[in-house]
Amino acid sequence: MTNTKPEEQTLSKREFILEEAAKLFVVKGFKATSMKDIAAVIGVEAASLYNHIKNKQEILVVLLGGLADSFSIGIHEIVIKKASSRDKLEEAIRMHIQVSLENRNKTHLILEDWKHLEEPELTRYLMLRKEYQDLFKGLVIDAINSGAIKKGNPELILNHILSSVRSIYNQYLYSNTSKISAQEYEESIIDFIFQGISG
Amino acid sequence: MTNTKPEEQTLSKREFILEEAAKLFVVKGFKATSMKDIAAVIGVEAASLYNHIKNKQEILVVLLGGLADSFSIGIHEIVIKKASSRDKLEEAIRMHIQVSLENRNKTHLILEDWKHLEEPELTRYLMLRKEYQDLFKGLVIDAINSGAIKKGNPELILNHILSSVRSIYNQYLYSNTSKISAQEYEESIIDFIFQGISG
B148 touches chain A (CB under 8 A): yes
pLDDT number for residue B199 = 66
**Nearest-5° Cα angle at A150, A145 to A151:** 60
Query: CA of B73: how far to CAs of A190, B68, B120, in Å?
Result: 33, 9, 21
CATH number of the CATH domain containing A108: 1.10.357.10
Give CA–CA dist B89/B160, Å, rounded.
13
The reply to whether B75 and B49 lie within a common domain is no
Kindly state whether residues B130 and B47 are assigned to the same domain.
Answer: no
Mean pLDDT by 10 residues, chain A (199 residues): 49 84 84 90 88 91 92 97 97 95 78 87 93 96 96 92 83 58 89 91
CA max distance for chain B = 60
Chain-wide mean pLDDT for chain B?
86
Interface contact flag, A159 B148, Cβ < 8 Å: no
Chain A: closest CA distance from residue B63 (Å): 20
Q: Which member of A149, A157, A198 has the closest CB to residue B150?
A: A198
Nearest CA in chain B to A176: B155
Count other Cβ atoms within 10 Å, centred on residue B164. Answer: 27
Residues A73, A166, single domain; the answer is: yes
CA distance B13 to chain A (A): 29
The CATH code of the domain that includes A24 is 1.10.10.60
The answer on A62 and A112 residing in a single domain is yes
The confidence score (pLDDT) of residue A167 equals 80
Work out the percent of chain B whose per-residue pLDDT is above 90. 55
Q: Is A32 in contact with B28 (Cβ distance < 8 A)?
A: no
Question: What is the length of chain A?
Answer: 199
pLDDT of amino acid A177: 56
> Are A108 and A25 contacting, i.e. CB atoms less than 8 angstroms apart?
yes
- Residues A36 and A72 both lie in one domain: no
Q: Which domain holds residue B172?
A: 56-195
Tell me, what's the pLDDT at B121?
93
> Is the pLDDT confidence value at B3 over 70?
no
Closest CA to A30 of B154, B99, B30: B30
- Write down which residue in A29, A53, A77 finishes a domain: A53
pLDDT, one tens digit per residue, over B87-118 is 999 999 999 999 988 887 787 777 778 888 99
The Cα B39–Cα B46 span in angstroms is: 5
Does residue B138 share a domain with residue B69? yes
Asked if B91 and B140 sit in the same domain, the reply is: yes
Residue B1, pLDDT above cutoff 50: no
Whether the pLDDT of residue B4 is over 80: the answer is no
| Of A21-30, B51-60, B158-167, the least confident | A21-30
Residue B178 has pLDDT above 80, yes or no: no
User: At residue B176, does pLDDT exceed 90?
Assistant: no
Residue B139 reports pLDDT greater than 90: yes
The DSSP code for B4 is -
Contact A89, A140 (CB under 8 A): yes
**CA distance linking residue A60 with residue A113, whole number of Å:** 8
Checking if the pLDDT of B84 tops 80, the result is yes
**Please, is A144 exposed, middle or buried when counting C-beta atoms within 10 Å of its C-beta (0-12, 13-18, 19+)?**
buried
Query: In this predicted model, which residue has the larger pLDDT, A170 or B39?
Result: B39
The whole-number average pLDDT for the span B7-26 is: 78
